[in-house]
Structure 1
Amino acid sequence: MIPQHMRAVQLTGHGGLDKLFYRTDVPVPQLQPGEVLIAVRACGVNNTDINTRTGWYAPSVTTGITEELATQGVAEDHADLGSWDRKGLGFPRIQGAAPAGIIVAAGSGVDTQRIGTAVVVDPVVRDMSLTRWARGVQYIGSERDGGYAQYVAVPDVNALPVQSSLTFAELAALPCAYQTAEEMQLRTRVGKSDTVVVTGASGGVGSANVQLAKLRGARVVAIASQDKEARVRELGADLFIARGSPDLSGQLGALVSERGVDVVLDVAGGDDVLHLWRSLSRAGRFATGGAIAGPMALVDMRDLIYKDLEMYGIANPEPEAMRNLVRYVEAGTLRPIVSQVFELSDLARAQAAFAKKGHVGKIVVDIDNAAGSAA
């Protein structure tokens, strides 16, 4: 029987970790037509949670996501704080873009046979009448309530059935992080003949990019902090450069020789973008899915122009990305990397650990039996 109230963590405004409140009396979502209600088992922690809470998406913020900013937030007097689409949020808001769980109720117009199905959530709510890559109109955990709660309501189409022996904690790593990485690979057409540079290779999106590029047979050059080299190589990286090393252009050139780099998959931004562009060969492809090192980057437009480069910004993946991920895990060719699991009541501590960037892979929140299997 579905209760009237649930455990959840509500975000009460932009700011620090003190804006997160654990409650046990939050009303269970009421289903709208075409929606399903999911009993959440686990929910992944992602950069978008930190970015939204702190107000980092505001155009007036020009620095990267430091540990201090991630825990304290930006100044509250910013008038333009908002979500990724910069339209502003309503509070309180339940964050959490990456729920996995079991359907327990169906709204009108939804096949009731879906009840009892294990699902992973595609967080992008789309208007399919819009132009491709512009279809994302809401993001679960941002413009609508998300998975840091016992129950979440999502459009039926966003609840993807999955049959796998993976735990719900592992499945909760797929939305947002692995989804962004898969969209980056799709847009840049990563293939077995490509040399691919992956920045932030120890984080959620970065480690996913290493795994997914190797799944496609590419040669991977990973960039991450030196102390994580062994773990990143275990994920499949063929070559490694320590983050912050001087002369990134020179190191890349020495590793890949005259062949150059075919694809750059970047989640860091900042000063390295100039050197990453320079490493790309003629007709190279560059995709960015984050800017934690800084949203402002100096670039040489001659690289873009005279090497006929392609550039892609990735915020709202198309449906194919999540469908692919489900197919990979069901086939047993992909196993998401989970570093740490926290209880829902410890969400603030989970986000603080996420901000330290000491982990490899994903941090996940256990809502209700995250260790259970979706099989």
Structure 2
Amino acid sequence: MSNSSPFFPDTMMAVVTTGTGGYDKLSYQPVPTPVPGTGEVLLRVRAAGMNNTEINTRLGWYSSSVTDSTDTTSTDGERADGGWNNATPFPFIQGTDCCGEVVAAGPEAKTAIGTRVLVRACMRERGFDHMDNIWMGSDFDGAFAQYVKVPASEVFPVSCGWSDAELATIPCAYGTAENMVHRAGVGAGHRVLIPGASGGVGSALVQLVKRRGAEAIAITSASKRDTLMDVGADKVLLRDDDLLAELGEQSVDVVIDNVAGAGFGTLLKLLRRGGRYASSGAIAGPIVDLDMRDMYLKDIRLIGCTAWDEPVFPNLVGYIERGEIKPLLAQTFPLRDIAHAQEVFQQKGHVGKFVLIPPE
């Protein structure tokens, strides 16, 4: 098909990430508008959420050579293995979260033109019987652009009164959070500890744990305590608190942790016999001290979570449409101001998500 259409031009503006390094690796420039192939749709990006993962990929933090926290990772040097699935396809367009409008469809793509959709960013190309996965904005071009093409099977219409920016807070953070809640088997009456609760995933976890009837214990900074209580946390502890003194050994059923770092060992001591520890990140540092006795003597399950399970994204759409969760939109920025947005993001003074808005 040709791009000569009143709905979209031959070129578009996008943020191209050119390699690992500092903000100078983010180039706002014109690029060809993608053309949808068989089974694909073209979306006009109405809003694109921003995540730790885009910054981490630019820094090359996923490289095995990096052992420090995301806040202290150096911007010096190229890291060829710094992507989620080994090599990152530089130069490419990042952007894992997309609220978009379908403007064109390739052969065999059934989604109606004009539909407002969310994109399931974690895609299981071989089906849900296999753990292999690829991610929009990490393994192929994403939503930091005016347009993006994706498989029609990965777009989900959403009927609600939320704004485009509010919807763009959902896919990566809430998908990641719901996947961990699902894998850990969180249910009514469980006591769940959530370190790093003020971030996009953490604040989503508070809501998703509560909607399943579990108790949510959040860990955050003092300035964010009230916001997390408003979201639904039953108890809020501070990062410097002595967790063993505050909660006691074997006091929680589930820990859902994207922080890791030096506090990892304590989290296992807090788990009851048969408890579950789930994680999809390690912002305080990926290398941890594990006392194997804490794990095997208490029959603890360690659950790594990257590939989203089949129910996860349909669940989220249902929660939105039934009003069971709410968006936490911290701030919006024009797409061209991505470097400034990431700089503010790294100050960690917000609760919820930052969202980038492409030009019309």
Q: TM-score, normalised on structure 2?
A: 0.95
The 8 Å contact of residues 69 and 284 in structure 2, kept in 1 or not, is answered as: yes
Deviations 1:241-270 (A, max 9, x none): 10133x3222221xxxx8710000101010
Match of 1:84 in 2: 84
Deviations 1:221-257 (A, max 9, x none): 1001121111111111111110133x3222221xxxx
- How far off its partner does 1:368 sit? 4.8
Q: Assess, with a 3 A threshold, how the Cα gap between structure 1 residues 322 and 129 changes in structure 2: closer, same or farther.
A: closer
**1:169 pairs with 2:165:** yes
Match of 1:372 in 2: none
Match of 1:135 in 2: 132
- How far off its partner does 1:129 sit? 4.5
Looking at structure 1, the residues matched to 222 and 128 of structure 2 have their Cα atoms a distance apart, in angstroms, of: 43
Q: Which of 190, 197, 221 matches 2:193? A: 197
Deviations 1:79-111 (A, max 9, x none): x4331121x122221100001111001111112
- How far off its partner does 1:131 sit? 4.0
Q: Which runs of structure 1 show a deviation greater than 3 angstroms over 4 or more consecutive aligned residues?
A: 129-132
Looking at structure 2, the residues matched to 117 and 368 of structure 1 have their Cα atoms a distance apart, in angstroms, of: 19
The 8 Å contact of residues 14 and 81 in structure 1, kept in 2 or not, is answered as: no
Looking at structure 1, the residues matched to 52 and 128 of structure 2 have their Cα atoms a distance apart, in angstroms, of: 26
Match of 2:3 in 1: none
Q: Assess, with a 3 A threshold, how the Cα gap between structure 1 residues 77 and 334 changes in structure 2: closer, same or farther.
A: closer
Match of 2:270 in 1: 279
Deviations 1:271-321 (A, max 9, x none): 111001000001101101210101011111111101111111111212321
Unaligned runs of 5+ in 2: 1-5
Q: Which of 236, 241, 248 matches 2:243? A: 248
Corresponding residue SS for 1:98: coil
Q: Which of 26, 49, 53 matches 2:54? A: 49
Q: TM-score, normalised on structure 1?
A: 0.91
Match of 2:223 in 1: 227
Looking at structure 2, the residues matched to 162 and 234 of structure 1 have their Cα atoms a distance apart, in angstroms, of: 25
Corresponding residue SS for 2:123: strand
Deviations 1:48-106 (A, max 9, x none): 1011100000001000011x54xxx533154x4331121x1222211000011110011
Match of 1:34 in 2: 39
User: Structure 2: which amino acid aligns with 1:299?
Assistant: L
User: Structure 1: which amino acid aligns with 2:334?
Assistant: E
Match of 1:18 in 2: 24
The 8 Å contact of residues 85 and 139 in structure 2, kept in 1 or not, is answered as: no
Further displaced range: 283-292 or 308-317: 308-317
Deviations 1:155-198 (A, max 9, x none): 11111111111111111111111100000100011111100000
**1:102 pairs with 2:64:** no
- Structure of higher RCO (CA pairs closer than 8 Å, 6+ residues apart): 1
Q: Which of 287, 292, 297 matches 1:306? A: 297
Question: What is the number of residues matched between the two proteins?
Answer: 354
Q: Assess, with a 3 A threshold, how the Cα gap between structure 1 residues 91 and 77 changes in structure 2: closer, same or farther.
A: closer
Corresponding residue SS for 2:162: coil
The 8 Å contact of residues 96 and 135 in structure 2, kept in 1 or not, is answered as: yes
Q: Which of 91, 112, 115 matches 1:114? A: 112
Deviations 1:105-128 (A, max 9, x none): 1111112x5111110011112223
User: Structure 2: which amino acid aligns with 1:135?
Assistant: D
Sequence identity (%) = 45
The 8 Å contact of residues 56 and 74 in structure 1, kept in 2 or not, is answered as: no
Q: Assess, with a 3 A threshold, how the Cα gap between structure 1 residues 217 and 130 changes in structure 2: closer, same or farther.
A: closer
The 8 Å contact of residues 42 and 368 in structure 1, kept in 2 or not, is answered as: no
Looking at structure 2, the residues matched to 348 and 227 of structure 1 have their Cα atoms a distance apart, in angstroms, of: 25
RMSD in angstroms over aligned alpha carbons? 1.5
Q: Assess, with a 3 A threshold, how the Cα gap between structure 1 residues 41 and 264 changes in structure 2: closer, same or farther.
A: same
The 8 Å contact of residues 210 and 236 in structure 1, kept in 2 or not, is answered as: yes
Q: Which of 54, 60, 67 matches 1:62? A: 67
Q: How does 1:225-374 map to 2 (within 5 A)?
A: 225-245=221-241, 247-253=242-248, 260-368=251-359
Corresponding residue SS for 1:271: helix
Between Structure 1 and Structure 2, the one with more helix by share is 1
Match of 1:373 in 2: none
Looking at structure 2, the residues matched to 269 and 95 of structure 1 have their Cα atoms a distance apart, in angstroms, of: 25
The 8 Å contact of residues 33 and 108 in structure 1, kept in 2 or not, is answered as: yes
